[in-house]
Amino acid sequence: GRPAVIFEMQMGMVDRGCELEWISQYPHEKEVLWNPLTGLEVRNMRLEGLLTIVEVKLSVNLAASTLDQVVRKRRLLVADIASNMPVQVRSDPSIASMKRSEDKTALAKVCDSLLNHATRSGPLSRTDA
């Protein structure tokens, strides 16, 4: 036979996975699905013939934000920046050297347009998050 690796894990109450053997193509393999970003800490390794058994401890960060929560926070941040940008541009000392107020207003509109575009396209445009 060929060398093989098996990960041996014990599930606890917090780091419990979803057992999939009832829908698995390979029910004899006891497939389990864990949350994204579940940590695997190697505790021990042993050889049994050509089989390497890796004992691991699972680590789930229950305080970690979901992807949807991160995107929602980012979208709000960019929207806040977009709403404040015209005011900041008009009051910025380096822009004060512009002679005409029309130039300042035009620059503020460009900044506002760019940031509003960022909130309407890509992942930040999603309203379901």
Express each pLDDT in 27-52 by its tens digit. Answer: 787 788 887 778 889 999 999 999 99
State residue 30's pLDDT score.
Answer: 79
Q: What is the pLDDT of residue 47?
A: 96
Question: What pLDDT is recorded for position 10?
Answer: 83
Q: What band does 99 get if pLDDT is binned at 50, 70 and 90?
A: low
To the nearest 10°, report the CA torsion of 13, 16, 21, 25. 180
Domain map of the chain by residue range?
Answer: 4-59, 67-125
Q: What's the confidence (pLDDT) of residue 5? A: 94
* 113 has pLDDT over 70: yes
Length of the chain: 129
Which residues are CB-neighbours of 58 under 8 A, at least 6 positions away? 9, 11, 12, 15, 17, 34, 38, 39, 40, 41
The model's pLDDT over 51-98, given as tens digits with 9 standing for 90+, comes to: 999 999 988 777 777 777 877 888 888 778 777 777 776 677 766 666
pLDDT band per the 50, 70, 90 thresholds, residue 129: very low
- 21 vs 5: which has the higher pLDDT: 5
